A and B are shown apart, each in its own frame.
Chain A
């Protein structure tokens, strides 16, 4: 007997499809589109017959499914870099370091105003060269006149490192072979 899929069933199926797609991001886009299309059609067929929960249960481990697709595509061959993951990690790195520096700036100006309510002149702070840049504020009779915040010089290094590690860019190096897949 064929069941009609509810909106929730479709959402659950799509979540599974997208999860497998994320886990197989090493595979070229054209092949991944084909995998997504086929997986979606199979899950729809299974859910129409046995319900969405049973269809997803019968699929087994999504990680193993993704590993199966990766092994089918590459065998023991070289995999592609994960550009999307690399850029996401690099953006996360920028957001994290920026957040730390914003907190540092707010804390520093609050400290200056608390210590000298009628502050006059320039105040500079640099707590850690590793993750924090320089904060320079100028006060005129207790009023913030100008501010300058520079991000740490090493920020670029961190972002490049995040891009390389997150994106597995070493896979671009010719001659490197991935471990054989089971």
Chain B
């Protein structure tokens, strides 16, 4: 048991897909900004980053959306085994979106992390007397 009393310590928490959905675009932009990559490679890099449950089928449409929005551009590169792969890199709009997304996430995390990081009390404090009707 953890120090939070009634609540067991989480075991290898699964990532909430809805929570991840909003963060996937900046994450992908960040990875592409670090290294020009193709779809499956990006899915692999996300898994190595600590998102083992992420489906490739979540990543590919997100890349399609980013490309449609003009945030990434692509080029086909011949593969030694199999069909040519589509490699992505950020556009200037993509770099802008990455900077905005990163700032937004860091600001939100700065508020949420300290609040959720506090130990959970076993009982809520009783209502104060002056709040009684």
Contacts and interface: CB of A to CB of B under 8 A. Distances in A.
A46 interface: yes
Interface stretch (B5-13, B28-36, B52-60, B119-127): B52-60
B57 A48 contact: no
B39 A42 contact: yes
Given A37-B83, A58-B43, A72-B65, A42 B60 contact: yes
Interface residues of A, number: 27
Contact of A58 (B55, B81, B82, B84): B55
B27 interface: no
Among A46, A61, A69, A72, residue most surrounded by chain B Cβ atoms (within 10 Å)? A72
A39 B57 CA distance: 9
Contacts of A68: 57-58, 60-62, 64
B40 interface: yes
Interface of A is mostly: helix
B79 A72 contact: no
Interface in B17-59: 38-41, 43, 55-58
Contacts of B38: 41-42, 45
Contact of A60 (B57, B79, B82): B57
A42 B61 CA distance: 13
A1 to B, nearest CB: 12
Nearest to B67: A72
B68 interface: yes
A45 to B, nearest CB: 4
Contacts of B61: 65, 68-69, 71-72
Contacts of B41: 45
Contacts of B85: 41-42, 45
A69 B62 CA distance: 8
A2 interface: yes
Nearest to B61: A68
Nearest to B43: A58
Contacts of B43: 42, 58
A73 B83 contact: no
Interface string A52-70: 0001001111101100110
A46 B56 contact: yes
Contacts of A35: 64
23 contacts: A38-B60, A38-B86, A41-B38, A42-B56, A42-B60, A44-B81, A44-B83, A45-B41, A45-B85, A46-B40, A48-B82, A55-B56, A59-B55, A60-B55, A60-B58, A61-B55, A62-B57, A64-B58, A65-B61, A68-B62, A72-B64, A72-B65, A73-B64
Given A35-B64, A38-B39, A61-B57, 4 more contacts: A38-B60, A44-B79, A64-B55, A73-B68
Which 7 A-B residue pairings sit nearest by Cβ, starting from the closest? A68-B61, A60-B55, A44-B82, A65-B57, A72-B65, A60-B57, A72-B64
